[in-house]
A and B are shown apart, each in its own frame.
Chain A
């Protein structure tokens, strides 16, 4: 069984500031981990994924995430927030690449001037 916890349903940052969205997972087998972004009225879009290769994963739009097994974490970061980053972000886990994705409850990112 697997689960995902996203700490903070709402995160607000200033434009240009560091973005940090937290995700902790639980999995009985080596996990694959994902971050998705959802803009209003659009489908979830894959930002990046960890599939047991490099622990630091770079994604689109300047985002990256680091898999830390000891902390069971997969936090999403971006050095400098842009207004266009405002969206909802979902962390997800699947059991070693199996079909089933288990999602967190999402974090709404707000970027302020």
Chain B
């Protein structure tokens, strides 16, 4: 089956620094990738949708200048949390969809746990 990886699996950083999270589709090309955030005991919340070669579409309430998304190739999307603060500590999950797949078909990565001190 389709596999999506994320790196790193967890990261601890100091407040004010930036953190980059990578999402890779390992055995397929992903024209569309999604980024989610999950706070403890809460549901996954969609942050943004990115299409290869174009700007990401952010959900309402998500700061695009704080959460920079780059989808420069068909197998890689990156999420950069800029000037991270403790309230950004969360579990970040990406998913990817193959071209031609039905819209609801998404393959999920294992997530990246971010802790901002």
Chain A residues within CB distance 8 Å of chain B? 4, 9, 32, 34, 36, 41-46, 49, 51, 90, 94, 97-106
B109–A97 touching, CB < 8 Å = no
With A32-B104, A98-B103, A99-B103 already in contact, the answer to whether A90 and B9 are too (CB < 8 A) is no
A99–B108 touching, CB < 8 Å = no
With A44-B93, A99-B49 already in contact, the answer to whether A90 and B104 are too (CB < 8 A) is no
Selected from A32, A41, A101, A102, the residue in CB contact (under 8 A) with B110 is A41
Complex Cα spacing A33 to B113, Å: 27
Complex Cα spacing A104 to B32, Å: 23
Please indicate the chain A residues that have their CB under 8 angstroms from the CB of B103 in the complex. 94, 97-99
The list of the 10 closest CB pairs from A to B, nearest first, reads: A43-B108, A44-B108, A103-B43, A103-B44, A105-B43, A43-B110, A43-B109, A97-B103, A42-B110, A94-B104
Tell me, rounded to whole Å, the shortest Cβ–Cβ distance linking A56 to chain B. Answer: 19
New contact pairs (18) apart from A51-B102, A103-B44, CB-CB < 8 Å: A4-B43, A9-B41, A41-B9, A43-B93, A43-B95, A43-B107, A43-B108, A44-B108, A45-B108, A94-B103, A94-B104, A99-B32, A99-B103, A101-B46, A102-B46, A103-B43, A105-B42, A105-B43
Please indicate the chain A residues that have their CB under 8 angstroms from the CB of B111 in the complex. 43
Tell me, rounded to whole Å, the shortest Cβ–Cβ distance linking B45 to chain A. Answer: 8
A105–B41 touching, CB < 8 Å = yes
B15 CB-CB contact with A under 8 Å: no
Q: List 25 A-B contacts (CB under 8 A).
A: A4-B43, A34-B104, A41-B110, A42-B110, A43-B95, A43-B107, A43-B109, A43-B110, A51-B102, A51-B104, A94-B103, A94-B104, A97-B102, A97-B103, A97-B104, A98-B103, A99-B32, A99-B34, A100-B46, A101-B106, A102-B46, A103-B36, A103-B43, A105-B43, A106-B43
